[in-house]
Structure 1
Amino acid sequence: MNLSQKLHETAEVSADKTAYIFMDQKTNYRELDMAVSKFSNGIKKLGIKKGDHIALIVGNTPHFIIGMYGALRAGATVIPINPIYTPDEIGFIINNGDVKLVVTLDVLLPLMEGINRVTPQVEHIVVCPTSKEASSEDLETLNIYPKMKPITYVLESGEAVYEEISVDDDDTAVILYTSGTTGKPKGAMLTHKNLYSNASDVGSYLKMNESDYVITALPMFHVFCLTVVLNAPLMTGATLLIMPKFSPKEVFHFAKEYSATVFAGVPTMYNFLYQYPDGTAEDLKSLRLCISGGASLPVSLLKAFEQKFSVLVSEGYGLSEASPVTCFNPLDRPRKPGSIGMNILNVQNRVVNELGEEVPVGQVGELIVKGPNVMKGYYKLPEETAAALKDGWLYTGDLARVDEEGYFYIVDRKKDMIIVGGYNVYPREVEEVLFAHPNLVEAAVIGVPDPNLGEAIHAYVVSNIETLTAEDLALYCRDRLAKYKVPAVFEFLEELPKNTTGKILRRALKNQVSQTI
C-alpha cells in the first residue's frame, strides 16, 4: 500500500465525503481521485515514466495535492519547491534533482522564464490555472515567453481512469531539499514506505478520523505540512481546509466557519494568533487538537496561548530526513510543556554520546532515530548519507536529553542553524552570497532572538569601502535569497573575531549580541 493507492481506496469507500475546501469550494474524495488520475495519465502522455523526477512549484493550492498524488500514481518522484525561492535557488534544485517536468501556476510564469534559461534538462512546464475562467485557450497568451519549454494545461488532457504504476516500498517517492551546511541544499530521498508509514503512524497517534476538519495553513512544500496536515488526514478520510497563506484572521474564520478540529503551526503562527486582537476562545472552541513543531515553542507562549483560548497545544519533533515525525506528546496522558514528547508508533529515539552509546537518563547527547520513516539517503551525496545513517540509525545532529518517563527534550539545535518562522537557515548558505559581494572582505551570520519569528538573521560584515550601506546589502541579498533568508540586520566591523587558526568565532559574536539585548 502507498499514498496514491490509499487515496483511491478512500475515494471508493467515502466518495461523497468532502476531501478539501478551497476558496469556499468543496471537493469530495471521488472528484479528487479523478483529478489525480487525470493528472497522472496526462503527464504520462507527456513522456513521464516510472522513476522520472517532477518539481511542484504551486504553493498552497489543490494543484499541490493533485500534482503530488498524480505523480506518485504515475510512478514518478516528486520534488516540492518553495515558490518564494529565487530563480537561482530554484534552478539549483531543478538541476541537481534531474527534474524533467515542472508543475507551476500561471501567475508564476514570469519566475519560470528566468529559471528556464538555466534548466536545460526540463522537457515540459505544466501550467495550472489560478482562476475558474482559465483554460487551454489561454495557451495563446503564453507566446510572450518564446524561449520557454513546451507548456500545457495537463489537468485537461488526461483520462479520468485509475491506473496505478507498480512501485516498490523502497522506491523514492519524494525528494525534499533541505538547507545544507556546505551552502547548497541536500535532497533527502523519502521512499513510499517512509511517507506511508509516517502518515499512518501520525494519524493513529493523533487519533485523526473522518470527522476531523484540519486547517492547512502550513506551506505544503514543507515536510511538517506534507505528513501531518496533508497525508495523514487524507489517509483517514478527513477534510482539509486549505489556506493559500497563513493569516491569523483567516485561521479564526476557518475554525469558526467550518468547526475545525485540528490546527498545526510553527511557534511564529501561535505568536501571531495570540497577538491578534479580534481572536477569541469562542472562535477556537471546536478545536480538539493544536500541534506545534518546526522549532521549540517557548513555554511562556504555550501557557499564555492555552489560557487565552482554552485549548491545549501539543509539541512534537521531526526532521525532513525522518518524513518527519519521530516524537510527540501523547494525547492519553499528561503533556509536559517544553518536551517534544515520546516515541511515536514504530519509531525509536535515543540519546547517545560520541561513540554512539546510549547515555543515562537526564544526560545530554545527540538524538538519533530509527524506524520505517527514516530516509534512504541524500540524493547523489553518498558521503553525506554515510555520515547521517549509521547501523540503521539517523543521526540528527540535535542535542537532547530524556527523562525517566521517556519524554525527550531538545537542548540545542544543530550547530549554528537558524530557524526563522519555522524555516531552517544555515549561516553558510547566506554567507556564500555575502562573500560573493565585491566590496565585502569577511562575513559571518548568526541567529538572534526575535519576538515574532523566533529568530532573525544577524550578519556581521567587513567592507573594503566606507560607502557600502546596510540597505545596499539588503537589496543585494533580496535578489539572491528567499525573503526569510535575508539578514534583518547588517553590522559593520573592522574585523571579525577569530581563533589562532583563523576560524571565525561565532560564539564571540553571539555573546556580543546577548550583551546588547
Structure 2
Amino acid sequence: MNFSTKLHETAKYSGSKIAYCFMDQSSTYAELNQAITQFASGMEKLGIKKGDHIALLLDNSPQFVISLHGAFRLGATVIPINPIYTADEIGYILDNGDVKAVVALKSLIPLLEQKQTLMPKVEQYVYVDTDQKTEDSDSLSNYSNLKSKLRSFTSLLASGNLDFQEPEIHGDDVAIILYTSGTTGKPKGAMLTHKNLYCNAMDVSHDLKMTSDDRIITVLPMFHVFSLTDCLNAPILSGATILIVPKFSPREIFRLGKKYKPTVFFGVPTMYNFLYQFPEGNPEDLESLRFCFSGGASLPVSLLRNFEEKFNVVILEGYGLSEASPTTTFNPLDRERKPGSIGTSITNVENKIVNEFGEEVPVGEVGELIVRGPNVMKGYYKMPEETKRAIKDGWLYTGDLARMDEDGYFYIVDRKKDMIIVGGYNVYPREVEEVFYHHPDIVEAAVFGVPDPNRGEAVVAYVVTKDPLITVEQLHAYSKEHLAKYKLPSVIEIIEELPKSGTGKILRRALKEQLVEKVAL
C-alpha cells in the first residue's frame, strides 16, 4: 500500500467526504484524487518522469497538497522549500538537489528568473497565483528568460489526463528530500522513502486514533516534515478533513474553532503561547478539540499547565526529527500523560539512550537519544560520509541529550551541541529557560552559551516580558532564587521579540550571532 493507492481507495468508497477546507472553500476526496492525477499527468507531458526531482516553494494551500501527492503518484521526488528563504538558500537547494521542475508562488518567479542561469538542470517552472482570477490572464512576457519553461498551475492541471498510467512505486523509492538546517555548513538533504513516510503517517494515525470524523487544523508550514506527516499524510490515510490555514493567527484559529469544530490541533510552543495570551480567545471556541499536540521544541511545563487549565484540553507533547519522517515518540492517548516528557516510543519505532560508546545507559541517566524503525531515512543525498556518521548499525543518532524513566517515558534534556559547560559543569539551556517561563511576567525565553576565558562558557539569556517596567536587575535577582550559582546567566537581555524559524521554533543561534555583532561594535 502507498499514498496513491490509498487515495484511490478513499475516493472510490468515500469520494463525497470533505478532504480539505481552505479559505472557507471545500473539496472532496474524489475531487482531490482527480486533481492529483491531473497534476501527475500534466507533469509527465512536460517531460518529468519517475525519479525526477520536483521542488515546492509554496505556502499552505490546496496546491501544495495536490503537488505533493501528484508527485508521489508520478513517482517523482519532492523537495519542499521554505518560500521565504533567500535567493542564495533556494539556489543552493535547487542546484544541490538536482531539481528538474519547480512549483512556486508567482511572487517568487522574478527571484527564480535571476538565478535560473545558475540552475541549468531546472527545465520547468509552474507558478501558483493566490488570486485565481488573474492567474491565466497575466502575460508571461515579464519573465522573458523563462517564457518557454513557465506555465500556470491551473493550465498544468487542465492539460492532465485522468487515464494517466501510473508507474510502479516501490517502498524504497525516495519520496521526499528534506533539507535540514544544520548548526554549521550547508543544509543536508535527508532522503525519506515512500515506506518511511507511509509507515510513520500510519503509525501516528493509529496511535492518535485518527478517524474520518476528525478535523485537523493544519497551520504548521506544509514544507516542514512535522506538518507533512502529522497534519497532512496521517489525516489523509484516516480519511479525515484537513482545515488548511495559510498563516498562523490566533484570531483565525479561534474563528475556525467556532465554525468548523476541529478535533485536533498540532502546533509548536510559540503558537500555544500566543493562543494562551490572546485576549479575545474564547475557550468555548476550542471545546470541540479532543487533544492538542506540541512538537518542534520543548514546551515549558508552566505554559502547558496554564493552557490546559484555560482551554480544558490536553496537550500531548511529542518528539521527532526530519531524518525520522519525523515522529518517534509522544505521550499516549490511552495511558498516563507526563508533563515535560516527550512520551513513549510510537508503534513500530524503538528509542533508547546511549553513552559515547553507543552503550545503553541505566534508567534516569542522560545520554544521546537514538532511534530505529521503518521511519528512519535512507540517508543524506550525495553525502555518504554524513550518512555513516548519522546511522550506525541501523540506529539513527539524533544529537539530542535525553533520559528515560522507569515507565519508558523519554525526556529531552537539550541538544547535544547546545549544552553549555561552565567550569566543568553541564548546564542545559532548557532547564534555565524553564525557570524564566515560571516567572509571571515573562512571555518567552531563550538561553545559550558563549565563550568565557575563565569558565570555558558563560550562560546568556534573552527574554520577552509583558511588563515594560521590569528590569534586568530584577530578573537577575529572580534567577538567583531558583538556579545554582554555576547555572546563573551572566547576561540577561530584554527584547521585544525572539527570532523564530518558519515553524515558530526559537532560533538560539540567531541570538548568539546578534550578541557577537553587538560586542564587536
Query: TM-score category by the smaller chain?
Result: 0.7 to 0.9
* Superposition pairs of residues 50-449 of structure 1, within 5 angstroms: 50-138=50-138, 141-148=139-146, 150-153=149-152, 154-161=156-163, 163-416=165-418, 448-449=461-462
Q: Paired residue for 1:460?
A: none
Give the 3-state SS of the residue equivalent to 1:49 in structure 2.
coil
> Aligned letter for 1:67?
S
Question: In the aligned structure 1, how far is the partner of 2:459 from the partner of 2:118?
Answer: 31
Secondary structure class of the residue paired with 2:118: coil
Structure 1 spans left out of the alignment, 5+ residues: 420-424, 428-443, 453-481, 497-517
Q: Give the letter aligned to residue 349 of structure 2.
A: V
The alignment's TM-score, normalised by the length of structure 2, stands at 0.81
Shift of 1:289: 1.2
Distance 1:446 1:106 in 2: 44
| Aligned equivalents of 1:57, 1:129: Cα separation in 2 | 12
Partner Cα separation in structure 1 for residue 70 and residue 459 of structure 2: 40
Matched residue type, 2:295 = G
Aligned-partner residue type, residue 126 of structure 1: V
- In the other structure, the counterpart of 1:469 is none
Native 8 Å contact 1:20 1:242 kept in 2 = yes
Instruction: State the match for 1:501 in structure 2.
Output: none
Aligned-partner Cα distance in 1 for 2:368–2:165: 44
Matched residue of 2:243: which SS? Answer: strand
Shift of 1:167: 1.7
Deviation at 1:240, TM superposition (A): 0.5
CA contact (8 A) 2:51 2:75 kept: yes
Give the match's secondary structure for 2:43: helix
Between 99-108 and 204-213, report the one with greater CA deviation.
99-108
Give the drift of 1:161.
3.2
Give the drift of 1:404: 0.4
CA distance in 2, matches of 1:391, 1:483: 33
In 2, Cα distance between the equivalents of 1:87 and 1:445? 35
Q: Which moved more, 1:482-491 or 1:9-18?
A: 482-491
Q: Which amino acid is the alignment partner of residue 375 of structure 1?
A: M
Contact 1:128 1:155 in 2 (8 A): no
The 3-state SS of whatever aligns with 1:282 is: helix
Paired with 1:445 and 1:378, the residues of 2 have a C-alpha distance of 34
Distance in 2, matches of 1:73 and 1:349, equals: 32
Q: CA deviation at 1:450?
A: 4.3
Per-residue CA distance 1:326-361 (angstroms, 9 max, x = gap)? 001010111000000001000000001111111110
CA displacement 1:393-444 (0-9 Å, x = unmatched)? 000011110000000000111413999xxxxx9x9xxxxxxxxxxxxxxxx9
Change (3 A) 1:371 1:447: farther
Q: Secondary structure at the match of 1:208?
A: coil
Asked if 2 retains the 8 angstrom alpha-carbon contact of 1:107 and 1:130, the reply is no
Contact 1:18–1:28 (Cα < 8 Å) also in 2: yes
Matched residue type, 1:109 = I
Sort the Cα spacing of 1:378 and 1:445 in 2 relative to 1 into closer, same or farther, 3 A.
Answer: farther
Structure 1 counterpart of 2:107, which letter? V
Q: Identical aligned pairs, as a percentage?
A: 61
SS of 1:12 mapped into structure 2: helix
> 1:164 and 1:450 mapped to 2: Cα distance?
53
> Relative to 1, partners in 2 of residues 1:86 and 1:172: Cα closer, same or farther, differing over 3 Å?
same
Displacement of 1:492 in angstroms is 4.8
CA, structure 1 residues 104+448, in 2 after alignment: closer, same or farther (shift >3 Å)?
farther
Once residues 170 and 350 of structure 1 are traced to their aligned partners in structure 2, the CA distance between those partners, rounded to angstroms, is 25
- For 1:399 and 1:190, locate their aligned partners in 2 and report how far apart those are by CA, in whole Å: 24
TM-superposition CA deviations, 1:253-302 (whole Å, max 9, x none): 11111000000000000000011000021011000010000000000000
Provide the C-alpha distance between the structure 1 equivalents of 2:85 and 2:380, rounded to a whole number of angstroms: 21
- Are the structure 2 counterparts of residues 397 and 6 from structure 1 closer, same or farther at C-alpha, using a change threshold of 3 Å? same
- The offset of 1:445, in angstroms, is 13
The CA deviation at 1:321 is 0.2
Distance 1:100 1:331 in 2: 43
Distance 2:279 2:251 in 1: 10
Does the CA-based 8 Å contact 1:359-1:365 persist in structure 2? yes
Amino acid at match of 2:192: L
Asked if the contact 2:128/2:135 (under 8 Å) is kept, the reply is no
Q: State how far apart, in whole Å, the 1-side matches of 2:243 and 2:14 are.
A: 18
Distance in 2 of aligned mates of 1:52 and 1:60: 23
Whichever residue aligns with residue 209 of structure 1, its letter is T
**Secondary structure, counterpart of 1:101 in structure 2:** strand
Q: 1:240 to 1:370 in 2, by over 3 A?
A: same
State the Cα deviation string for residues 439-486 of structure 1 (Å, max 9, x = none): xxxxx999844449xxxxxxxxxxxxxxxxxxxxxxxxxxxxx99785
Q: Cα offset for 1:3? A: 1.4
Aligned counterparts of 1:288 and 1:266: Cα–Cα separation in 2: 17
Counterpart of 1:504 in structure 2 is none
Cα deviation, residue 164, structure 1: 2.3
The match for 2:29 is 29
Structure 1 residues 494 and 409: CA distance shift in structure 2, 3 A: closer
Q: Does the alignment pair 1:40 with 2:73?
A: no
The count of corresponding residues between Structure 1 and Structure 2 is: 445
Where does residue 13 of structure 2 map in the other structure?
A: 13
Q: Is the 8 A contact 1:125 1:151 kept in 2?
A: yes
Residue 132 (structure 1) shift: 2.9
Secondary structure of 2:284's aligned partner: coil
| Offset of residue 135 of structure 1 | 4.5
* Aligned residue type for 1:113: E
Amino acid of the residue matched to residue 183 of structure 1?
Answer: G
* TM-score normalised by L of structure 1: 0.82
